[in-house]
Structures are given as structure tokens and as C-alpha cells.
Chains A and B, each alone.
Chain A
Amino acid sequence: MARITAGIATSHVPAIGAAIDNGRTGDEYWAPIFAGYDFVKDWIKDNTPDVVILVYNDHASALMLDIVPTFALGFAEEFLPADEGWGRRPVPIVHNHPELAAHIAEQLVIDEFDLTLINEMDVDHGCTVPLSLVFGQPEEWPCKVIPLAVNVTQFPTPSGMRCWKLGEAIRNAVKTYPEDLTVQVWGTGGMSHQLQGTRAGLINAEFDNAFLDQLAHEPEELAHITRIEYLREAGSEGIELIMWLIMRAALGYGVEELHRFYKVPASNTAVGHVVYRALS
């Protein structure tokens, strides 16, 4: 049977990808941020899963203009890195696990999630920056990746509670897949940031750290945070944190926190990162 063994959460700031691609990770500005990822880079060597379900948001690269899906599962065989205005990132093509993706797609609809399936799309920094942060710069990504895009751009986004329940449904779907596979769920985006208006640059370290405190062992509490509270407290783009709840719910009741990192800022954003091992 397939099993969810671990979860990772991380911010997915595009400038982090640019720093990696341009060989600037050792710069004074960037070195303290990349130091926060030394643990996961080492840990993943012995803990590379067969499949990562990568929860992220499309930043108006493939979605959000003509089609605005609340939850969209990548269903193509492969996904190219998107050209977001400065050329495609020089990173490997993302390869799907179509059999597991099909199983999850079916199970989620049966579980009453009205999922959108995307048979062709490019993946932007939301998907590729977390892969770079964890795996570095390999020729090929060392595992299959099922991209799951969540609308966190157009209001109303799904609620935190809806995301929590989706994570639980993903857990049940993976558990009923007959093949022996190790699966990780990654939640990306956040933490606090706002990219518009006179409130641009908002960072709320107190909110972020309280979120990190509760995510491991009292995560259900976080599922009650409302959309407007995210907007007020964590900034208009800080609502990306609802995607971390999908990851956490997919891990089940108990987790061991293997690593936690928080640093302000990368570009406009508070960087947060955790690694959890699933205990059940």
C-alpha cells in the first residue's frame, strides 16, 4: 500500500529561485536563507520518496486568467517550467505519477471535492522553487511530482477548514492506493507577505511563529483561521498559508518536527520552512 511518510512546508519566493539559478546562494543577503535548508537537503538524501504531492499556487502562469479553479490537480505526464517573464527556469522537467494522480483524482471527487484536472500546463516558481530548495540542482528531479494548485489569488479562496479536509481526503486516497509507494506531501507558499498597495511589505512574525508553533501538534486550531484574518494579519498574499494545512492534514494525527526555520525577509516575504515525519 502507498504511505504518506513525511511532509515539508516552505515558502516559494521567486527571488529564491533566481538566486539559485544565478549562483548567488552564497551572497551575504542569501546565505542565511539557504542555511535554513541545509538540514532538508541532507535529510532528503536518505528520505527521497517515490512521489511528492506538491501543493502550490499558480501565480497567473498557467491558470487564473481564463480558468480559475479552486483545486486543480496536474494530470499531464510532464510539466515544463513556466516562462514568467524572464525565460524558463533552467530546472528539470517535472514528471507526474499518472497512476497515483488518477487514483487521487477519482477518490477526491468521490469524497465530494469538485476537483479540476489539468491535462496541460507549465509549472511556475510556486512548484519549482520548493523542488530546488530541497533537491538542489540535479539533472533530473529524483522523484515523481503530482502538482496540486490551489486558488489563493482570487477571493474567496477555499477556507482553511476546506483545505484541512482536502488534506485528510488526500491521506485517505493515498492509503487506498494498492502499490507500495512512499509519498510525501509538501505545502508551499507564505509566510506573511503583501505585494500590493501602501501596506506592501507587511510582515507579521508573531502570527507566523504562532502558526509554526501550532502546526505540528495543535493544527486543527489553525483550520479555524478565517480568510479575512489571514488578509488582516498575514497580508494579502499571506493567505497562501492555507496550503500548509493541506500538507499537515495529510500527515494524520501525530508528527515529529524534524526541522523548523524562520527568517525575514527574502525579497518581500517572511520565509518559513518545516520538515515533519509522519508517526502513523
Chain B
Amino acid sequence: MPRTRLYSLDDLEDIPGTKVFTARRARQGYHLHKFCMSLMQAENRDAFRADERAYLDRYRMTEEQKEAVLARDLTRLIELGGNMYFLVKIASTDGWSAQKAVSSMSGMSAEEYARMMAEGGRSPEGLRSIREGR
């Protein structure tokens, strides 16, 4: 009997507002992530700050990925294969808190997001499954 996937792609795409970081996405994000991890060295952070575009051109990232980094568009970077554990190095280089960086994807201002978190966070109600509407 042919073996079926334990997790169908439909399942992985069924969580609202969530990109599951699969092996395929990891490959798509590899050069972007190589850039992100380079920011773990102070001299690289300095070089990036000095000329962001020139620094990005050292990496085999796509033009879309480079433009999204320059725009600090984390939502777009995740669509382009990014994962937050890598991307947060950009935020740290900018001196942003992780909360501010995460809030930038949430459709809320940093202040609104901070208030939501202080009040107990975002409820999972209605956000578990697109298909099942729960």
C-alpha cells in the first residue's frame, strides 16, 4: 500500500496567518538566512549599517529578498522563505526588541500589540484552522 503523507500540505497551509517553515522553505531562505547569521559578528553589523545594499550584494539572495530586507518587511521575508529565528538578527542589529519586530507582522502598531500581549495575548479562537473555521 502506498504510504500517505502524515501531514498533507493542505494541513500545513490550513493555519491562519502562519507559514510553516518546511525543508522547501528552508532551502528558499538559505542565502537570506546566511546573510542574517552573518549579523552575529560585530564587524559585519558595522559593514551592513555602513552600506546596506552593498553588504546585501555579497549574498546570493534574490532581488525580492534584498528589497524586503532594505524595507524591513518581515511579512514579505517570511513569504520569501524566511524564518523568524534568523530574521530576528536583522531586528537586533537595528536595536529593535523582538516584540517590536514581531508586532510589525501583526497588522497592529507596536503599542497596540504590546497592549494586547499585556492583556493576555491573542486568543486562538477562530485562528486554529481555516478549513474548519475554529
Contact = CB atoms under 8 A, between A and B. Distances in A.
Interface of A: 14-15, 59-61, 64-65, 68, 82-87, 153-156, 192, 194-205, 207, 227-228, 231-233, 236-237, 264-265, 267-268, 270
B33 A202 contact: no
Interface string B13-29: 00111111111001000
B89 A264 contact: no
A200 B105 contact: yes
Given A201-B106, A201-B117, A267-B99, A68 B19 contact: no
B102 A200 contact: yes
23 contacts: A60-B85, A64-B85, A83-B41, A86-B92, A154-B23, A155-B21, A194-B122, A195-B98, A196-B18, A197-B78, A197-B105, A199-B17, A199-B127, A200-B102, A201-B102, A202-B121, A202-B127, A203-B120, A232-B15, A232-B128, A264-B120, A267-B99, A268-B98
A203 B121 CA distance: 5
B62 interface: no
B39 A196 contact: no
B86 interface: yes
A156 B40 contact: no
Contacts of A203: 117, 120-123
Contacts of A268: 98-99, 102, 117
A199 B122 CA distance: 8
A202 B74 CA distance: 17
Interface string B89-104: 1111101011100110
B37 A65 contact: yes
Contacts of B18: 194, 196-197, 199, 231, 236
A26 B95 CA distance: 22
A14 B93 CA distance: 15
Given A154-B22, A233-B128, A236-B21, 12 more contacts: A15-B97, A59-B85, A85-B40, A85-B88, A86-B92, A196-B74, A197-B17, A200-B103, A200-B105, A200-B113, A201-B113, A268-B102
A227 B103 CA distance: 25
Taking chain A's interface residues, is the majority helix, strand, or loop, or is none over half, making it mixed?
loop
Interface in B33-81: 33-34, 36-37, 39-42, 45, 74-75, 78
A60 B121 contact: no
Nearest 9 CB-CB pairings of A with B: A203-B121, A85-B92, A198-B17, A199-B17, A197-B17, A60-B85, A201-B122, A85-B89, A59-B85
Contact of B12 (A60, A155, A195): A155
Contacts of B128: 232-233
A202 B122 contact: yes
A232 B7 CA distance: 13
Contacts of B78: 196-197
A201 B86 contact: no
B101 to A, nearest CB: 8
Given A65-B37, A155-B12, A198 B107 contact: yes
Contacts of B33: 60, 65
A192 B121 CA distance: 10
Contacts of A65: 30, 33-34, 37, 86
Nearest to B40: A83
Given A205-B120, A265-B118, A60 B83 contact: yes
Which of B91, B117, B128 has most chain A Cβ within 10 Å?
B117
B40 A61 contact: yes
Contacts of B41: 83
B21 A270 contact: no
Contact of B102 (A61, A196, A232): A196
A85 B15 contact: no
Given A60-B33, A156-B7, A200-B102, A265 B121 contact: yes
